[in-house]
Amino acid sequence: MANNSAQVEDRTYLPEPEVAIVVDFFAAQKARRIGNLEPLPRLVAADGTEVALPGQVHEILLQVVTAMKAGLAVTIAPHQLTLSTQEAADLLGVARTTLVRLLESGAIPFEKPSRHRKIKLVDLLEYRVRQRSRAEEALADMVADTERLGLYDTDPEAVRVALKAVRATRSSR
């Protein structure tokens, strides 16, 4: 029985100047295919072996090379990957202590097989989606309240003066 699992290598690839050529190639391929039923792009190995790239793989590669062209680092990880608290905090863009509080409050599931907490990548990504959804809802509510109160038509300077007066009243109490 053949082993279908590919060896996963932890390696960082830094952007190089020739990435721009790859980005241009992928963008041109994408533009040509929009609205057409042209064959899928193909990946050709050094030995000449070819394989068609499914649309989703093509999109992922386009995102990777676009990020690298912009000078950004890219991380590609298997979905079942478990992360340390520091790795998870870095992915969310929060301090490790903040992440630990989220874990302990139950906001993000985790395992503690030994002394160290381990977070599944899928759980972390689900949390991030939930948080973004809540933030978008809160922003939509704020915009609706502002529109309902007619504050978009208010002079910003008048709002600053009113806020200053309210704050002065509160601080004098």
Residues 58 and 135 in one domain: no
Residues 60 and 111 in one domain: no
Residue 27 lies in a domain: yes
For residue range 108-120, list pLDDT tens digits in order.
Answer: 999 998 899 999 9
For residue range 105-148, list pLDDT tens digits in order.
Answer: 999 999 998 899 999 988 998 999 999 999 999 999 988 888 88
Q: Are 21 and 35 in contact (CB under 8 A)?
A: no
Number of domains in the chain: 2
H/E stretch holding 24: helix 19-33
Residue 51 lies in a domain: yes
Show the domain range for 115: 82-171
Provide the whole-model pTM.
0.49
Residues 63 and 102 in one domain: no
Residue 104 lies in a domain: yes
